[in-house]
Amino acid sequence: MTKFISLLMAVFSFVAMDIGKGLTLAEAVEPLKIGFVDGQKVLESTKLGKKAKANLEEYVKSREKILELERKDLKDLEEALAKQGALLSLEAKKDKQEEYQRKL
C-alpha cells in the first residue's frame, strides 16, 4: 500500500511540476494515441502479403494432390482386398489388412 501511495505522489509531483510551468492539467497530460492495423487489408494490398498468400495457396494445392494420391492408394488397396479376399490365404489376407490399417 505504501508503494502505491509513493507512486501516486511521484505522479502528482511530475504533473504539478508541469502545471507549475504554466501548463494546465489537460495540457500536462499527453493524449493517448491508439493505432489499429487491419491485418486482412495488409495481406491483400502489400507485395509481401500477396506473395505469402500465393505461397500458401501453392502449398495447399501440393498437399491436396498428395492427399488425393494417398486416398486413391487406399481405395485401390481396399478394392484389391475385397476382390482377392476369398482367394488369399489367411496369412496373406491378414498382411493386406494390416497394410491397409497402417495406411489409414
The pLDDT profile of the chain, 104 residues, written as one tens digit per residue, is 666 676 666 666 655 555 545 555 555 567 778 888 898 898 889 999 999 999 999 999 999 999 999 999 989 888 888 888 777 788 887 887 888 788 77
- DSSP labels for 7-52? HHHHHHHHHHHHHHTT--HHHHSPPP------HHHHHHHSHHHHHH
> Domain extents for the chain?
1-35
pTM for this prediction: 0.51
Question: What are the residues whose beta carbons fall under 8 Å from the beta carbon of 50, sequence distance 6 or more?
Answer: 43, 44
pLDDT computed for residue 10 by the predictor: 65
pLDDT computed for residue 93 by the predictor: 79
